[in-house]
């Protein structure tokens, strides 16, 4: 009898759901809206009802399901799936793992969504199952996941791997976490836009400032495009951003010594020039031995990383599977 795993990647707008084979192939994937009304209390019912319908439609019975893996935002107790807080959904002190297990009568394993995406990339994406890996997601914020000695890093408080909140400038811009100068305030799409508006204000005659005045706004994509066209101010923003990213990765690498660093998220669509600039900065700041043993690559799985990583989480918990080892 074919065995399958249910992978879930719950976000503030949609929940990505998938039926995954035991070797990481997506059998079926779909999305449903995330109902954040009433503190998100309807989400578990909505998700499980959708999964049951899909299982029935594809003629799977629940006895074929090994378990459910879930990637969710926020600070999570990984052993129980208890979510201390997920601001964009409305969960606070929310027993997600227990509720979903009670609904499904299946083993349920919950992990931070960025960590789950790192698991997915390492299992069936660009990581190729290395034992030590850093995944950096450059989107609206900066997310990340760390795999050390074959296992994802959570830490005691469930916030291990929060790469976006490494402080890079103690006098920098305010971050949503309440501190100043976090990596997220510089290297995210939001951080790049912030730098662009500051540049436009300080240099009102620049090409970048003229773009802001004409369009009324600017995006990270616009900044990279202007930099490609040779605009001095845009090039400075890109250079500063990639320099800070390279420094952050170098600092992380002396503690983890990764075999691979994977760069993903919307900002990564800037392409090879972005990756090359980050790699050059990483080389400048990293210990030579660390740099020589590490490869920087783009992530490959895109939006599928979460559900595939959630499936791997089930395998890891049930089969004691560890990256870099033969079990």
Element (H, E) at 133: strand 133-138
* Arithmetic mean of pLDDT, 178-187: 95
**For the whole model, what pTM was predicted?**
0.90
What residues does each domain of the chain span?
Answer: 4-121+303-319, 130-299
**199-247 pLDDT per residue, tens:** 999 999 999 999 999 999 999 999 999 999 999 999 999 999 999 999 9
CATH superfamily membership of 130-299: ATPase, nucleotide binding domain (3.30.420.40)
Task: Find the DSSP H helices in 68-219.
Answer: 96-104, 113-124, 184-187, 189-202, 207-215
Q: Do domains 4-121+303-319 and 130-299 have the same CATH topology?
A: yes
Structurally, at CATH architecture level, domain 4-121+303-319 sits in 2-Layer Sandwich (3.30)
* Arithmetic mean of pLDDT, 156-169: 86
Question: DSSP string of 165-185?
Answer: G-BS-TTS-B-TTSSBSBTHH
Tell me if 22 sits within 8 A of 84, measured CB to CB: no
């Amino acid at each position: 009898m074919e065995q399958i795993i249910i992978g879930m990647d719950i976000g503030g707008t949609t929940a990505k759901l998938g039926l995954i084979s035991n070797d990481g192939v997506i059998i079926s994937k779909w999305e449903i809206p995330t109902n954040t009304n009433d503190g998100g209390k309807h989400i578990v019912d909505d998700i499980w009802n959708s999964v049951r319908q899909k299982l029935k439609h594809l003629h799977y019975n629940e006895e074929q399901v090994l378990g459910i893996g879930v990637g969710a935002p926020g600070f999570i107790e990984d052993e129980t799936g208890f979510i201390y807080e997920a601001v964009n959904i409305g969960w606070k002190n929310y027993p997600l793992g227990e509720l979903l297990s009670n609904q499904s009568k299946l083993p349920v394993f919950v992990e931070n969504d960025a960590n789950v995406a790192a698991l997915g990339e390492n299992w069936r994406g660009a990581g190729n199952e290395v034992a030590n890996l850093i995944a950096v997601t450059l989107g609206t914020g900066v997310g990340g996941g760390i795999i050390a000695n074959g296992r994802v890093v959570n830490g005691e408080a469930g916030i291990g791997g929060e790469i976006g909140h490494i402080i890079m400038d103690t006098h920098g811009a305010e971050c949503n976490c309440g501190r100043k100068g976090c990596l997220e305030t510089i290297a995210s799409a939001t951080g790049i836009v912030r730098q662009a508006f500051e540049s436009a204000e300080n240099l009102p005659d620049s090409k970048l400032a003229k773009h802001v005045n004409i369009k009324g706004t600017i995006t990270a994509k616009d900044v990279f495009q202007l930099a490609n066209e040779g605009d001095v101010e845009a090039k400075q923003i890109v250079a500063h951003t990639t320099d800070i990213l390279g420094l952050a990765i170098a600092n992380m690498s002396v503690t983890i010594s990764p075999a691979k660093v994977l760069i993903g998220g919307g900002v990564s669509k800037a392409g090879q020039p972005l990756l090359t600039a980050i790699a050059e900065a990483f080389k400048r700041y990293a210990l030579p031995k660390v740099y020589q043993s590490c490869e920087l690559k783009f992530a490959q799985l895109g939006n599928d990383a979460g559900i595939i990583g959630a499936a791997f989480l089930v395998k890891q918990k049930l089969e004691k599977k560890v990256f870099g080892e033969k079990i």
